[in-house]
A = this chain, B = another copy of it.
Amino acid sequence: MTFTAILVAILSVVIVVLFLSSREKVQTSKEEAKPSSRSKPWVDEDLKDDTEITSKDEDGDNWVDSGEEDLPHVPYPVVRYPVDIMAERSKDLYRLLNQRRSVRFISPEPVPREVIDNVILTAGTAPSGAHTEPWTYVVVGDPETKHQIRLIVEEEEEVNYRQRMGHKWVSDLQRLRTNWVKEYLDTAPYLILIFKQIYGILPNAKKTHYYNEISVSISCGLLLAALQNVGLVTVTSTPLNCGPQLRHLLQRPANEKLLMLLPVGYPATDATVPDLKRKPLDDIMVYI
Contact = CB atoms under 8 A, between A and B. Distances in A.
Interface of A: 1, 4-6, 8-13, 16-17, 20, 47, 49, 51-53, 55-57, 63-66, 68-81, 83, 86-87, 89-91, 93-94, 97-103, 105, 112, 114-115, 117-127, 129-131, 133, 135-142, 145, 164-169, 171-177, 208, 210-211, 213-214, 217-226, 229-231, 233, 235-236, 238, 240, 250, 252, 259-260, 266-267, 269-276, 278-279, 281, 284-288
Given A49-B52, A136-B284, A97 B76 contact: no
B288 A141 contact: yes
A230 B89 contact: yes
Given A79-B231, A90-B118, A93-B226, 18 more contacts: A8-B9, A9-B9, A47-B53, A63-B168, A77-B99, A78-B269, A89-B229, A97-B125, A98-B122, A120-B285, A124-B281, A129-B238, A130-B169, A135-B284, A137-B285, A217-B217, A218-B220, A252-B286
A172 B133 CA distance: 14
Contacts of A102: 127
A288 B221 contact: no
- Interface of A, secondary structure class, is mixed
B141 A272 contact: no
Contacts of A9: 8-9, 11-12
A240 B138 CA distance: 32
Contact of A218 (B4, B83, B211, B218): B218
A288 B116 CA distance: 13
How many copies of this kind of chain does the complex include? 2
Contact of A49 (B51, B77, B221, B229): B51
Contacts of A69: 171, 174-175
Contacts of A278: 124-125, 133
Nearest to A272: B73
A285 B250 CA distance: 13
Contacts of A270: 75
Contacts of A177: 70-71, 73
A11 B8 CA distance: 11
Contact of A118 (B76, B91, B259, B287): B91
A78 B50 CA distance: 38
A224 to B, nearest CB: 7
20 contacts: A8-B8, A10-B12, A17-B20, A53-B164, A53-B165, A73-B272, A73-B274, A75-B271, A87-B114, A93-B229, A97-B226, A102-B127, A120-B281, A136-B284, A139-B288, A142-B288, A214-B217, A214-B259, A225-B225, A252-B286
